[in-house]
Amino acid sequence: MILEMAGVTKSYSTPGGAEARVLRGIDLRIAAGESVAITGPSGCGKSTLLNIIGTLDSPSSGRVVLDGRETSMLAEPELSRVRSQVVGFVFQFHHLLPQCSILENALVPALVGPDPAAAETRARALLGRVGLADRLDHRPGQLSGGECQRAAVVRALVNRPKLLLADEPTGSLDREGAESLAALLLELNREEGTALVLVTHSPGLASRAARTLELRDGVFAK
Ligand code: ADP
Ligand code: MG
């Protein structure tokens, strides 16, 4: 299992003093290499869940075991080491650095890695794989939204994460761009053996994952 969550809850205190219970007891097991889509209405806690999986946020209670390590028991800097070794992130907006080339952007996570030369070889190969071979020296502003999102996918994969977390990665693209990005994520999931958790509003895109889960009222609908 790349991920095991048991009884995970997350609450926020609201300005009025009441507790907003966003996640109310999430149990989730994801096998190595698996693909899972998570759907649910806006505000239901999808990003909160993904951020807890990726150790960007911590649960209020419950257990999270990521690649064999109980992250709910870890603190920084150990946590950021696990995060950078195990997880890749893709968000709704690409967050590429505008002054850097596409190749430089793809290499950002590898700056802290052990082998910069190997990372560059991998980044070049992946950028070729996603159709950006002739865009390596371009800046993000010279690329389409879909191309930037593909570069962000390469950046997320450059350190060979075991788990790719994609939070509405097609949300800023038109229908055609969304279709092709989702297809790419699922192809890379199979080719690279990287487990994929894909948050999406689109039932059509979700149905392409091996498993679909619907988040409703803080738990997965049965
Ligand atoms: P989704 O990604 O499904 O749209 P989110 O996980 O972003 O939903 O948010 C779920 C709920 O938690 C929302 O009601 C949101 O307002 C609330 N929330 C998220 N982050 C915080 C925070 N840092 N402080 C307080 N409330 C938050
Ligand atoms: Mg969200």
Q: Where do the DSSP E strands lie in the chain?
A: 3-13, 19-30, 35-39, 61-66, 69-70, 87-90, 163-167, 195-199, 211-216, 219-220
Distance 43 CA to ligand 2 centre (A): 7
52-76 pLDDT, tens digit each: 999 999 999 999 999 999 998 899 9
Average pLDDT, the chain: 95
pLDDT in tens, 107-144: 999 987 788 899 999 999 999 999 999 999 999 999 99
Q: How far apart are CA 133 and CA 166, in angstroms?
A: 23
Which of 199, 184, 218, 188 lies closest to 54 in space, CA to CA?
199
Residue 170 C-alpha to ligand 1 middle, in angstroms?
A: 20
**Predicted local confidence at residue 16, as pLDDT:** 87
Taking residues 67-94, report their average pLDDT. Answer: 93
Indicate if ligand 1 lies below 6 Å from the C-beta of 50.
no
pLDDT of residue 17: 86
Ligand 1 pocket, residue 48 CB under 6 Å: yes
Give the mean pLDDT of 9-34.
Answer: 95
Smallest CA separation from ligand 1 atom 19, residue: 48
Whether the CB-CB separation of 135 and 122 falls below 8 Å is answered with no
Q: Which ligand is nearest to the CA of 41?
A: 1
Cα–Cα nearest to 6, from 219, 222, 210, 221: 219
Which residue's CA is the nearest one to ligand 1's atom 21?
12
Residue 200: CB within 6 Å of ligand 1? Answer: no
Amino acid at 188: L
Ligand 1 mutation target, pool 48, 49, 165, 167, most atoms within 8 A of CB = 48
Q: State residue 113's pLDDT score.
A: 79
CA–CA gap between residue 154 and residue 132 (Å, rounded): 10
Pocket flag, ligand 1, residue 47 (CB < 6 Å): yes
pLDDT of residue 72: 85
Ligand 1 atom 16 nearest Cα:
43
Q: What is the dihedral of CA 62, 65, 3, 123, to 10 degrees?
A: 130
Q: What is the mean pLDDT of residues 18-37?
A: 96
Compute the distance between CA of residue 12 and CA of residue 24 in angstroms, rounded to an integer: 12
Residue 26 structure tokens = 């999430």
Closest ligand 1 atom to 57 CA: 23
Give the ligand 1 atom nearest the CA of 45. 6
- Summarize pLDDT for 155-189 with one digit per residue, the tens: 999 999 999 999 999 999 999 999 999 999 999 99
Q: At what angle do helices 116-129 and 145-157 cross, to 10 degrees?
A: 140
Q: Which two tokens stand for residue 47?
A: 């990003």
Q: What is the pLDDT of residue 131?
A: 96
What's the CA dihedral at 122, 196, 189, 202 to 10 degrees?
Answer: -120
Q: pTM for this structure?
A: 0.95
Binding site membership of 10 for ligand 1 (Cβ less than 6 Å): no
Please give the pLDDT value at position 112: 79
pLDDT the model gives residue 128: 96
Give the C-alpha separation, 149 to 5, whole Å.
Answer: 29
Model pLDDT, residue 97? 98
